[in-house]
């Protein structure tokens, strides 16, 4: 934001005076509220550009939506301006792009989809004393460094693991399964690694009846999973727990089909298994795939409003984990700005600390941060692709369908 | 040791190796003739994929036929690229030749993103989900088809270079540019045609890969890398080397991690070789071969 000093004040008043004189408008001129710059920093190009673009769209859509509703009301209807930054999915670029938008006057950063990138940005924001709100990034470590300016709206990996045990436990109890033999796979980025390692640690520590036969990791952006799936097949697991990204999720399902790997269920916990493109391309193969992810609240009023506008703006898309949290990230900043009535970093951070943002866009309660900056009410749900669309199946209170387990038909029996 | 698994891995690696060979053939041909490394190779392959995908969506024609259109369009693109960009940088120092082509790679990647969007696409085609069971082994039909067609294309290209006048002109220009100029060869045109053939190879390979892997604008760079490894391994500019190198890398990346894990277990180490590091296997082979034969497996007098 521009500071108003004597010179700019004089210049503006002169301009206003001149306009008033020329147009003959009566003196009832309202001062134009200043613009507030926040920055969306996402991996818009590079190996995960698809989700990066979805996230940027979510951020931009939220800003436009809030501006259309009258901007920041406590600050005279000040409008938000979204600066755009692209991490290219690389840590070093994430840092330099964050530096750039801070120099351009961003008072707060929102983003990015990748945990590794988020770590780089959080470190910089701490040095520059600029508030940073992570919309999607799950690795626990980011908020374990004692950062003062970093907040996270998204659940952390331990939360995912807790819920995974909770939901799997419920399924096992209801279906009388005493034990699962499982293979865990993950993409080799920070999120995938932390997520899979946390799950395996939880299974072991909590003596949960899941035997992990193998933990297979492959690089992000892999284009051939035949070797990995051959290994899975050789191990003959009951269930597969894949932590995926969009490209390898599709590759995995197809490869499982072609190699005829017999499974009772595919229970993932990550992106790739719920996007519209996954369902469009996989068709019946997507059916019965379960995914433990933060999800929109199908009963929520805010969800219905936001989703209606969003899917009109981007035909074929819907609010999912990514776009939903991208929206929520901006909404939380706006809520803090409303209460802070200031764009100073200290005021904004103080307001963010006191956040209690009631929302029913995503499953979970009001957004409120603990001393680390993590949203304590962020939560995940078990979703399952049923009848060509993602449905919430667990927890029962938020569900809009009943889960199907085991898969009634193996992948290759579905007549593709 | 799980023999079945190892065989399965070797088989799928071998089949994919055939397609790698075709991709590397294009790179090797361009390098062999012009001494220019096409750093936009992988990105051009992605264009080949998108062309075949677009045809599939619009007309329903299977990529295993429409790869010919991909090849034709990529020939045209390659021809123009050579005429407009590459021909002007032929006499530049090598370090300076790199930049325009890396720049072209970015142009190809990002224009694909603008045209076809950023999302991963796995189109449904006739063969994309079929496989044949042979005992305990599974043969992936699209891989088998891609492999066979890649081999046929490679042989046709080799025959073309040996038998036709244009092919002979290309080889003459590769051997001795000045000599070819002196006997009246239109070297500029020959170079452009050669570059076009190189990119047509990679375009065809792209088309063949559509039923096998999901496509997205950014997937090209690793393919540039892998074909580069293959070409160095086989001998810069050697076409036979590119073929053999493709198979070596295909099989090694597939079987390597498993074999190394078995080795680790054999010597009493409780370690699994992570699949994330499978490129280590290719680079290791590359280093060993370069130590033993610095000119590459088939690199003879040239290179």
- CATH H superfamily, domain A32-155+299-353: Response regulator (3.40.50.2300)
Q: What distance in Å separates the CA atoms of residue A276 and residue A319, rounded to the nearest whole number?
A: 10
Query: Does residue B119 form part of some domain?
Result: no
Quote the number of domains for chain B: 1
pLDDT at A175: 94
Of A343, A179, A186, the closest CA to residue A264 belongs to A179
Query: Does residue B156 form part of some domain?
Result: yes
- DSSP, collapsed to helix, strand or coil, labels residue A150 as strand
Residue A4 confidence (pLDDT) above 80: no
A19/B contact by beta carbon, under 8 A: no
Confidence of residue A25 (pLDDT cuts 50, 70, 90): very low
Element of type H or E holding A411: none
| CA distance to partner chain B, nearest, from residue A187 (Å) | 8
Query: Does residue B303 form part of some domain?
Result: no
Q: What distance in Å separates the CA atoms of residue A8 and residue A1, rounded to the nearest whole number?
A: 13
Chain-centroid distance of CA A260 in Å reads 33
Q: Which residues of B are less than 8 Å from A234 in CB distance?
A: 2, 4-5
Query: Does residue B239 form part of some domain?
Result: yes
Q: Do B122 and A221 touch (CB under 8 A)?
A: no
Confidence of residue A109 (pLDDT cuts 50, 70, 90): very high
Residue A110 confidence (pLDDT) above 80: yes
**pTM, full prediction:** 0.84
Give me the CATH number covering residue B192: 1.10.3470
Please list, in sequence order, all residues whose beta carbon lies within 8 angstroms of the beta carbon of residue A13, skipping any fewer than 6 positions away. none
DSSP A378: B
Buried b (16+ CB within 10 A) or exposed e, B37-76: bbbbbbbbbbbbbbbbbbbbeeeeebbbebbbbbbebbbe
Give the mean pLDDT of chain A.
90
| Own/partner long-range contacts of B274-280 (Cβ < 8 Å, ≥24 apart) | B274/A188, B274/A217, B275/A216, B275/A217, B275/A218, B275/A219, B275/A227, B275/A228, B276/A188, B276/A217, B276/A218, B276/A219, B278/A227, B278/B253, B279/A219, B279/B253
Q: How many angstroms separate the Cα of B137 from the Cα of each of B14, B133, B262?
A: 14, 6, 20
- DSSP, collapsed to helix, strand or coil, labels residue A94 as helix
Q: CATH number of the domain at A158-293+381-413, please?
A: 3.40.50.2300
Q: What distance in Å separates the CA atoms of residue A305 and residue A148, rounded to the nearest whole number?
A: 33
- DSSP, collapsed to helix, strand or coil, labels residue B168 as helix
Highest mean pLDDT among A10-19, A124-133, A295-304: A124-133
Beta bridge partners, A266, equal: A240
Number of other residues whose CB lies within 10 A of the CB of residue A75:
18
Select the residue of A228, A234, A281 nearest B122 (Cβ to Cβ).
A281
Beta bridge partners, B138, equal: B133
Tell which of B136, B140, B276 to mutate to test the A interface (max A CBs under 10 Å): B276
Q: Which residues of A are less than 8 Å from B278 in CB distance?
A: 227
The four Cα atoms A370, A371, A374, A376 give a dihedral, to 10 degrees, of -20
Strands (E), A121-264: 132-134, 150-152, 180-187, 210-218, 239-243
Query: Does residue B189 form part of some domain?
Result: yes
pLDDT at B1: 57
DSSP A96-122: HHHHHHHHTT-SEEEE-S-HHHHHHHH
B135: exposed, middle or buried (C-beta count within 10 Å: 0-12, 13-18, 19+)? exposed
Tell which of A44, A218, A224, A233 to mutate to test the B interface (max B CBs under 10 Å): A224
Confidence of residue A220 (pLDDT cuts 50, 70, 90): confident
State the residue range of the domain holding B91. 3-110+138-292
Confidence of residue A376 (pLDDT cuts 50, 70, 90): very high
pLDDT at A201: 94
Q: How many angstroms separate the Cα of A170 from the Cα of each of A163, A207, A211, A329, A382?
A: 10, 15, 17, 31, 11
Number of other residues whose CB lies within 10 A of the CB of residue A8:
11
Outline which parts of chain A fall under CATH 3.40.50.2300.
32-155+299-353, 158-293+381-413
Confidence of residue B261 (pLDDT cuts 50, 70, 90): confident
ipTM reported for the complex surpasses 0.85: no
| Mean pLDDT computed over A95-104 | 96
Q: What distance in Å separates the CA atoms of residue A130 and residue A38, rounded to the nearest whole number?
A: 11
Kindly state the tokens that stand for A336: 């803090």
**pLDDT tens-digit series, residues A131-182:** 999 999 888 889 999 999 999 999 999 999 999 999 999 999 999 999 999 9
Q: Which residue of A has its CA nearest to B209?
A: A223
Of A65, A70, A71, A83, the closest CA to residue A312 belongs to A65
**pLDDT tens-digit series, residues B221-258:** 989 999 999 999 998 888 889 999 999 999 998 898 88
**pLDDT tens-digit series, residues B3-41:** 888 899 999 999 999 999 999 999 999 998 998 999 999
Element of type H or E holding A389: strand A389-394
Number of other residues whose CB lies within 10 A of the CB of residue A109:
30
pLDDT at A26: 45
Q: Are B156 and B163 in contact (CB under 8 A)?
A: no
Residue B294 confidence (pLDDT) above 90: no
Residue B303 confidence (pLDDT) above 50: no
Q: How many angstroms separate the Cα of B90 from the Cα of each of B183, B188, B192?
A: 20, 11, 12
Kindly state the tokens that stand for A119: 């770590």
Residue scoring higher pLDDT (A191 or B204): B204
Q: Are B220 and B105 in contact (CB under 8 A)?
A: yes
Q: What distance in Å separates the CA atoms of residue B54 and residue A220, rounded to the nearest whole number?
A: 26
Of B60, B86, B65, B70, the closest CA to residue B23 belongs to B70
Q: Which residues of B are less than 8 Å from A53 in CB distance?
A: 118
**pLDDT tens-digit series, residues A293-312:** 999 998 899 999 999 999 99
DSSP A273: S
Dihedral sign for Cα atoms in the order A96, A97, A101, A102: negative
Element of type H or E holding A226: helix A226-235
φ/ψ of B123, rounded to 5, equals -65, 150
Query: Does residue B300 form part of some domain?
Result: no
A53/B contact by beta carbon, under 8 A: yes
| CA distance to partner chain B, nearest, from residue A44 (Å) | 9
Query: Does residue B116 form part of some domain?
Result: no
pLDDT at B270: 81
Kindly state the tokens that stand for B261: 């894990």
Of B268, B297, B301, the closest CA to residue B21 belongs to B297
Query: Does residue B127 form part of some domain?
Result: no
Confidence of residue B72 (pLDDT cuts 50, 70, 90): very high
Whether omega for the bond prior to residue B95 falls within 30 degrees of 0, making it cis, is no
pLDDT at A27: 44
């Amino acid at each position: 934001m521009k500071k108003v000093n004597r010179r700019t004040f004089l210049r503006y008043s002169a301009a206003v005076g001149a306009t008033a004189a020329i147009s003959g408008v009566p003196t009832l001129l309202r001062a134009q509220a200043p613009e507030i710059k926040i920055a969306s920093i996402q991996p818009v190009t590079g190996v995960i550009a698809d989700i990066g673009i979805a996230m940027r769209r979510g951020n931009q859509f939220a800003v436009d939506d809030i501006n259309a509703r009258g901007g920041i009301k406590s600050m005279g209807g000040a409008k938000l301006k979204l600066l755009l930054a692209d991490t290219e999915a690389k840590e070093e670029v994430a840092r330099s792009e964050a530096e750039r938008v801070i120099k351009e006057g961003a008072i707060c950063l929102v983003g990015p989809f990748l945990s590794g990138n988020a770590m780089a940005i959080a470190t910089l924001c701490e040095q520059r004393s600029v508030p940073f709100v992570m919309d999607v990034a799950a690795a626990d470590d980011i908020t374990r460094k004692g950062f003062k300016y970093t907040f996270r709206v998204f659940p952390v990996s331990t939360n995912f693991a807790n819920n995974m045990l909770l939901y799997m436990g419920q399924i096992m109890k209801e279906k009388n399964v005493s034990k699962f033999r499982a293979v865990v796979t993950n993409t080799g980025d920070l999120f995938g690694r932390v997520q899979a390692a946390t799950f395996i640690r939880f299974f072991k520590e909590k003596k949960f009846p899941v035997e992990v036969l193998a933990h297979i990791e492959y690089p992000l952006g892999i284009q051939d999973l035949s070797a990995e799936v051959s290994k899975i097949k050789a191990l003959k697991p009951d269930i597969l727990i894949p932590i995926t990204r969009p490209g390898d999720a599709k590759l995995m399902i197809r490869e499982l089909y072609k190699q005829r790997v017999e499974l009772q269920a595919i229970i993932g916990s990550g992106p790739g298994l719920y996007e519209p493109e996954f369902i469009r391309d996989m068709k019946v193969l997507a059916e019965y795939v379960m995914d433990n992810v933060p999800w929109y609240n199908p009963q929520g009023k805010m969800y219905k409003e936001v989703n209606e506008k969003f899917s009109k703006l981007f035909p074929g898309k819907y609010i999912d984990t990514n776009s939903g949290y991208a929206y929520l990230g901006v909404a939380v900043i706006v809520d803090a700005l409303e209460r802070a009535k200031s764009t100073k970093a200290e005021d904004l951070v103080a307001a963010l600390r006191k956040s209690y943002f009631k929302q029913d866009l995503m499953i979970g309660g009001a957004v409120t941060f603990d001393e680390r900056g993590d949203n304590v009410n962020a939560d995940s749900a078990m979703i399952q692709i049923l009848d060509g669309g993602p449905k919430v199946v667990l927890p029962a209170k938020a569900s809009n369908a009943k889960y199907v387990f085991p898969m009634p038909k193996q992948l290759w029996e579905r007549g593709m | 040791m799980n023999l079945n698994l190892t065989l399965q891995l070797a088989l799928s690696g071998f089949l994919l190796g055939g397609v790698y060979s075709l991709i590397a053939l294009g790179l090797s041909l361009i390098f062999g003739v012009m001494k220019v490394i096409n750093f936009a190779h992988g990105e051009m392959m992605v264009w080949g994929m998108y062309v075949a995908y677009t045809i599939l969506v619009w007309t329903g024609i299977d990529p295993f036929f429409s790869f010919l259109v991909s090849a034709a369009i990529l020939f045209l693109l390659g021809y123009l690229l050579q005429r407009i960009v590459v021909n002007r940088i032929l006499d530049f120092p090598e370090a300076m030749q790199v930049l325009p082509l890396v720049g072209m790679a970015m142009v190809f990647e990002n224009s694909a993103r603008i045209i076809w969007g950023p999302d991963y696409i796995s189109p449904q085609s006739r063969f994309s989900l079929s496989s044949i069971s042979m005992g305990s082994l599974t043969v992936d039909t699209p891989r088998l088809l891609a492999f066979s067609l890649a081999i046929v294309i490679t042989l046709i290209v080799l025959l073309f270079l040996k038998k036709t006048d244009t092919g002979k002109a290309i080889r003459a220009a590769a051997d001795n540019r000045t000599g070819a100029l002196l006997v009246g060869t239109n070297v500029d045109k020959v170079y452009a045609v050669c570059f076009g053939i190189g990119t047509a190879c990679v375009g065809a390979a792209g088309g063949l890969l559509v039923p096998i892997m999901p496509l997205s604008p950014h997937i090209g760079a690793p393919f540039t890398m892998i074909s580069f490894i293959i070409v160095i391994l086989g001998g810069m500019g050697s076409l036979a080397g590119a073929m053999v190198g493709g198979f070596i890398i295909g099989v090694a990346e597939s079987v390597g991690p498993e074999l190394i894990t078995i080795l680790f277990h054999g010597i009493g180490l409780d370690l699994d070789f992570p699949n994330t590091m499978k490129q280590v296997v290719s680079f290791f082979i590359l280093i060993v071969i370069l130590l033993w034969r610095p000119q590459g497996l088939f690199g003879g007098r040239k290179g």
